[in-house]
Structure 1
Amino acid sequence: MTVQEIPTEFGHAIPPRRPSHNNRPCEELGYSPRSLFQKIKSIYPRFLPFGHAQALSKEIHQKLAFPPTHGCHPFTQPDIFSVAQEHAFSHRRKEPKLVPGDLIFKVVDIAGVRLYCVGFPMAKTPGVIGVWQNFGTGVSTRLAEHLLTKVDTLVEVPFDAAGDGDLSIGKVPTATHLPETAAHQALRERIVGLLNRAPVGPQSKAVAIDDVYLYPTGMAAIYGSHRASMQLRKGPAVGLGAIFTSTYFLLGEIPGFKHFGACDAQSGVMDKLEVYLQAEAEAGRKVSYIFAEFPSNPILVSPDLKRLRQLADQYGTIVVIDDTVGSFCNIDILSVADVIVTSLTKSFSGYADVMGGSIILNPSSRNYPALKKFHRETFHNEYFSGDAEKMLANSADYLARSTILNRNAAAIAGFFQAHVGNAGSPVRKVLYPSVSDTSANYAAVMRPATAEFTPGYGCLLSIEFTTLAAARAFYDNLHVHQGPHLGAHRTIAFSYNIIWEKEGEDREFHAGYGARVEQVRIAVGLEGVEELIEVCKEGLRFAVAAAKEGNP
């Protein structure tokens, strides 16, 4: 079989190209040289406002007469003004520093939709970009496209901004929020059906439709869960294991954030967590919540959820689990999680052309009454109907696609695992739940097989090479699409851990818990197994050659 190179030009959407709504990641977005951004035609609006989102920002910028030195980013949540201040002026903020007066806050209505617009000096964009990257509450491509057709109705909503950027913002106008449609209800019904099918054990209470809350993005769901937990229990959060970069930076905004990175079987992490929780309790301090991905992205470690639940019960804290990588169909974590957060953008959607997220409250949790009360009183829909409709259509074949994703990832993991330890092989390690030393933890929450579906280990794996040169040679000659997305219809590779270094993080710190720059992350798609194996063989051939040359 001849391996075909990917013909897609850099900066364009991952194929098949579509005429609109390509709100998907592309290449090493956000981490590439600035000159490359001129080539980008398609990107997450959560990362940068491209396409319709960019056009809407420009319209607002012009009509509200923002200074020419300032950019403008619209949001749907009124609390984004305080979030922007906390983020931009944080003691953790690196150069360029923002100061009160740099930010401009304005509110507009377009056809009954209220937007909260943050203006910022373009020269200091790196200091404020996390506001839309890490909190996920910006305007989606479809919502922006809809609002552009109504932009002639734009009116500014006056309010006392207390000096534009001053730390004491006046009373912000309340949100109008977006209307729900039948698609929203159908989505919640589908999610509930997946959660309640083939449970690992008996459920004292099944998840109900009104226990599911939909959000514009996965990060918006994580932020929503964060707000709820922090409201109920004031105190630091704990991060357990490898955590997606935006989540890591969001949690890092919390004073006292504690991160236990290493969660492999040799780490003794649960004993360390117990010591920490005991020390906090003795000091009279509360831990707000413990956050973990299951399994973790990108090193696919599965923490001991049973022990985690025991510790959370003992010390009275909330457990929030992000199941995006494991996915609804493969794992059942309702026996452990008080809250489940999911990026529906990934394998639930499966086609990389719509974004969404969800929060699921576990009715069997002792924290359910308080969490439910908070969400009932504060939640308002911000998920645009067009996105909900597309998500509903995409997810119709979720189980069928997941069968293929599980199969393809397992096949690639097996292919590389056969090279580990061989003489001359540049493959040091395969990171995948089934071959991890934490595989028993994954198996403990794996759903039983049914006639309809046999669960697996998900679509994501990473390959660790013996040298950075071998990893680079493999990545540069692996003829699949490149980018930070996962769960799509096409296989996508990414040198994920380079992110940490490019974000100013300590490479050695993250390598210390297993996230090393010598790894290449692969998110499989729906291609045939033989095709993917041939592509991997071709990339591995170059990695072998690089290793033989002895380059570090």
Structure 2
Amino acid sequence: MTVQRMATELGHAIPPEGPHTVTVHTPTWDTGIALINADQAVMQKITSSYPRIIPFGHAQTLCLAVHQKLALPATYGCHIFTDPHVFSVTQEHAFSHHRKEPRLLPADMIFKVVDIAGVYLYCVGFPMAKTQGFIGVWQNFGTGVSTRLAEHLLTQVDTLVEVPFDLAGNPTATYLPETAAHQALRERIAGLLNYAPIAPQKAVAPGDIYLYPSGMAAIYGMHRAIMQVRKGPMIGLGAIFVSTYLLIYEVPDGFKHFGACDAQSGVMDKLDAYLQSEAEAGRKVSYIFVEFPSNPLLVSVDLKRLRSLADQYNIIVAIDITIGSFCNVDVLPVADVVVSSLTKSFSGYADVMGGSVILNPSSRSYPALKKVYQATFHNEYFAGDAEKMLANSADYLGRSTILNRNAAAITDLLQAHVGKVGSPVLKVLYPSVCDTAANYAAFMRPATAEFTPGYGCLLSIDFTTLAAARAFYDNLQVNKGPHLGAHRTLAFNYNSTLGTDPEEVQYQAGYGLRREQVRISPGLEEVSELIEVFEDALKFAVAALQEGET
């Protein structure tokens, strides 16, 4: 049987395409890189996008409307945020020594607060020629207006008035109203966190769960709260999602990254030595951040040893379980704070964004963190997004069963090629076959009559050569682009989009982020269909490998 060619066109979303879809199809290796580099030949074909990469659709239209009403210079861009702290964040980011030329200057920036129908928005104007110096604020902090909020406000944009403010302080905020959907979402997440725990623990209450407009906004909010409880440098363990890495890499108090976290790395001994040296020097580490498992390497850190070290040195542990997901793993015996992007498998249909922060009531840091959240947290999650997230997540457990099954089936198929003579597959990266599999298994929830946990919806493939990886990717008949946990399978040459700085490329490759790697997020298709598609793509990788050897 001939594998059908992918029908999705460059720049479009996973079907069904709509005004709030968050995926963008990049059918070839080169178009994936071009997207991240904002190549105009590709950008002109985009009808949908991951909202944090660029504002699109209703969000872009609202930005343009506000730009016009504020009479900003024609050479300026304008992005709009829901977070009143964004002005100070923009200044810290845009004027940082980390920015490269063309570097933004204070005189370049325009800050405005507007009121549209009682909703305050925070507008940042910047020279379009210096977009690269600013765009990280939109991409890494995650508090830009959502497409649904923008759609709602566009119907009332004629009510726009400017609001006076003092740039020296945080502007006055109105924040967004909460609805029954917000409470129902918190209750659903609390139920998942408390269901089939791996050890006795205090139950998470809905009030311990804080909702954000995106996963990155949740991480940013968590970071800001922790820094009010315990200042100091922070530590990142293992591969960390690129936007998260870029956000925490630049924290003023310093950042220490331990990239290699596989079983052979000795990372916990290295971490112990580092913490001891910091303690002897009189320096306090603020918190340790880890993804469990990591994106895209699927390494599972030794959480038991991590908790022991955190207790010894009185450090907060923050764990991102986006990849493991609520239903598969229980990290509450270790984590002081749990974060997750709800945009991924929790939503499952790639048409709404959201994020969550969970404070663990069993943590000794809970009273201090709870006090900060009670004093500072305000809702920025639009009701329309909360309602859609609630509807999408109703079949979360059923979808997760299929995602786990499909990811495991593709892993088994590819794993059978590892070590074979002439095989283009060097290694399969999935929690069940990584050398840290025991670390993951130690935190898997027990099976129940309702759900059997698995190893998640993400895997990666290491190819022996770049040519083989490209041939596989370009001929793999699935949707491509930067997202995971959707209803249809997605592939992305993730590592090749992380930049081209030789030192950074070498550093990343040193702990596993090889350019010869392809990331796969299986969807809800039938196993037989996926096996056929992947076997077909492997033939092209074999041919490319053989051609390179002749």
Question: Shorter-chain TM-score: what band?
Answer: over 0.9
Match of 1:79 in 2: 85
Match of 2:129 in 1: 123
Instruction: Kindly provide the CA deviation profile for residues 388-426 of structure 1, in whole angstroms up to 9, marking residues without a partner as x.
Output: 000000000000000000000000000000000001111
Distance in structure 1 (CA, Å) of the matches to 2:221 and 2:501: 24
The one-letter code of the counterpart of 1:445 is F
Match of 1:224 in 2: 221
Match of 2:543 in 1: 545
Instruction: Kindly provide the CA deviation profile for residues 163-220 of structure 1, in whole angstroms up to 9, marking residues without a partner as x.
Output: xxxxxx33343110000000000000000000000111111x1100100000000000
Q: Secondary structure at the match of 1:434?
A: coil
Match of 1:142 in 2: 148
2:250 paired with 1:250: no
Match of 2:29 in 1: none
Q: Secondary structure at the match of 2:278?
A: helix
Instruction: Kindly provide the CA deviation profile for residues 463-518 of structure 1, in whole angstroms up to 9, marking residues without a partner as x.
Output: 11100000000000000000010000000000010122257872110010011011
> In the alignment, is the contact (CA less than 8 A) between 2:36 and 2:497 conserved in 1?
no
Alignment counterpart, residue 44 of structure 1, candidates 22, 40, 50: 50
Distance in structure 2 (CA, Å) of the matches to 1:171 and 1:144: 26
Distance in structure 2 (CA, Å) of the matches to 1:254 and 1:171: 20
Q: Secondary structure at the match of 2:548?
A: coil
> In the alignment, is the contact (CA less than 8 A) between 2:23 and 2:482 conserved in 1?
no
The one-letter code of the counterpart of 2:9 is E
Report the Cα offset of residue 95 of structure 1. 2.0
Instruction: Write out aligned runs for 1:72-111 (5 A).
Output: 72-111=78-117
Instruction: Kindly provide the CA deviation profile for residues 127-181 of structure 1, in whole angstroms up to 9, marking residues without a partner as x.
Output: 1100010000000000000000010110000124xxxxxxxx3334311000000
Distance in structure 1 (CA, Å) of the matches to 2:84 and 2:25: 30
Match of 1:302 in 2: 300
Distance in structure 1 (CA, Å) of the matches to 2:345 and 2:292: 14
> In the alignment, is the contact (CA less than 8 A) between 1:474 and 1:542 conserved in 2?
yes
> In the alignment, is the contact (CA less than 8 A) between 1:45 and 1:139 conserved in 2?
no
RMSD of aligned Cα (Å): 1.2
Instruction: Write out aligned runs for 1:515-534 (5 A).
Output: 515-534=513-532
Q: Secondary structure at the match of 2:108?
A: coil
Distance in structure 2 (CA, Å) of the matches to 1:8 and 1:392: 28
Instruction: Write out aligned runs for 1:201-350 (5 A).
Output: 201-203=199-201, 205-255=202-252, 256-350=254-348
Q: Secondary structure at the match of 1:360?
A: strand
> 1:4 and 1:349, CA in 2 relative to 1: closer, same or farther beyond 3 A?
same
The one-letter code of the counterpart of 2:267 is V
> In the alignment, is the contact (CA less than 8 A) between 1:469 and 1:551 conserved in 2?
no
Distance in structure 2 (CA, Å) of the matches to 1:273 and 1:415: 36
Q: Secondary structure at the match of 2:432?
A: helix
Structure 1 residue ranges without an equivalent (≥5): 161-168
Report the Cα offset of residue 45 of structure 1. 2.4
2:30 paired with 1:24: no
Larger deviation: 276-285 or 485-494? 276-285
Instruction: Write out aligned runs for 1:50-69 (5 A).
Output: 50-69=56-75
Distance in structure 1 (CA, Å) of the matches to 2:111 and 2:502: 28
The one-letter code of the counterpart of 2:488 is R
Distance in structure 2 (CA, Å) of the matches to 1:481 and 1:32: 20
Match of 2:5 in 1: 5
Q: Secondary structure at the match of 1:546?
A: helix
Distance in structure 2 (CA, Å) of the matches to 1:452 and 1:108: 48
The one-letter code of the counterpart of 1:253 is E
Distance in structure 2 (CA, Å) of the matches to 1:84 and 1:26: 30
The one-letter code of the counterpart of 2:5 is E
2:494 paired with 1:471: no
Distance in structure 2 (CA, Å) of the matches to 1:314 and 1:25: 45
Q: Secondary structure at the match of 2:200?
A: coil
The one-letter code of the counterpart of 2:300 is S
Distance in structure 2 (CA, Å) of the matches to 1:307 and 1:527: 38
Match of 1:164 in 2: none
Distance in structure 1 (CA, Å) of the matches to 2:519 and 2:84: 36
Alignment counterpart, residue 175 of structure 1, candidates 168, 173, 176: 173
Instruction: Kindly provide the CA deviation profile for residues 242-300 of structure 1, in whole angstroms up to 9, marking residues without a partner as x.
Output: 00000000011114210000000000000111111111111111111100000000010
Distance in structure 1 (CA, Å) of the matches to 2:75 and 2:164: 22
Q: Secondary structure at the match of 1:527?
A: coil
The one-letter code of the counterpart of 1:328 is F
The one-letter code of the counterpart of 1:291 is F
Instruction: Kindly provide the CA deviation profile for residues 40-94 of structure 1, in whole angstroms up to 9, marking residues without a partner as x.
Output: 0111222211110011001110111111111110101111001000001111111
> 1:262 and 1:90, CA in 2 relative to 1: closer, same or farther beyond 3 A?
same
> In the alignment, is the contact (CA less than 8 A) between 1:216 and 1:357 conserved in 2?
yes
The one-letter code of the counterpart of 1:24 is T
Larger deviation: 241-250 or 224-233? 224-233
The one-letter code of the counterpart of 1:17 is E
Instruction: Kindly provide the CA deviation profile for residues 366-394 of structure 1, in whole angstroms up to 9, marking residues without a partner as x.
Output: 00000000001000000000000000000
Distance in structure 1 (CA, Å) of the matches to 2:220 and 2:549: 43
Distance in structure 2 (CA, Å) of the matches to 1:149 and 1:340: 37
Distance in structure 1 (CA, Å) of the matches to 2:363 and 2:314: 12
Q: Secondary structure at the match of 1:419?
A: coil
Distance in structure 1 (CA, Å) of the matches to 2:501 and 2:51: 19
> In the alignment, is the contact (CA less than 8 A) between 1:75 and 1:137 conserved in 2?
yes
> In the alignment, is the contact (CA less than 8 A) between 1:111 and 1:147 conserved in 2?
yes
Distance in structure 2 (CA, Å) of the matches to 1:229 and 1:378: 12
For these two proteins, the number of residue pairs brought into alignment is 542
Distance in structure 1 (CA, Å) of the matches to 2:76 and 2:38: 23
Report the Cα offset of residue 25 of structure 1. 4.1
Alignment counterpart, residue 388 of structure 1, candidates 377, 386, 389: 386
Distance in structure 2 (CA, Å) of the matches to 1:430 and 1:353: 29
> In the alignment, is the contact (CA less than 8 A) between 1:403 and 1:453 conserved in 2?
yes
> In the alignment, is the contact (CA less than 8 A) between 2:215 and 2:342 conserved in 1?
yes
> In the alignment, is the contact (CA less than 8 A) between 1:467 and 1:551 conserved in 2?
no
Q: Among all aligned residue pairs of Structure 1 and Structure 2, give the percentage whose two residues are the same amino acid.
A: 74
> In the alignment, is the contact (CA less than 8 A) between 1:497 and 1:519 conserved in 2?
yes
Alignment counterpart, residue 409 of structure 2, candidates 411, 433, 438: 411
Alignment counterpart, residue 440 of structure 2, candidates 435, 439, 442: 442
> 1:32 and 1:466, CA in 2 relative to 1: closer, same or farther beyond 3 A?
farther
Larger deviation: 48-57 or 22-31? 22-31
Distance in structure 2 (CA, Å) of the matches to 1:463 and 1:171: 48
Instruction: Kindly provide the CA deviation profile for residues 440-473 of structure 1, in whole angstroms up to 9, marking residues without a partner as x.
Output: 0000000000000000000100011100000000
> In the alignment, is the contact (CA less than 8 A) between 1:23 and 1:141 conserved in 2?
no
Report the Cα offset of residue 23 of structure 1. 3.2
Distance in structure 1 (CA, Å) of the matches to 2:172 and 2:549: 59
Q: Secondary structure at the match of 1:214?
A: strand
Match of 1:166 in 2: none
Match of 2:506 in 1: 508
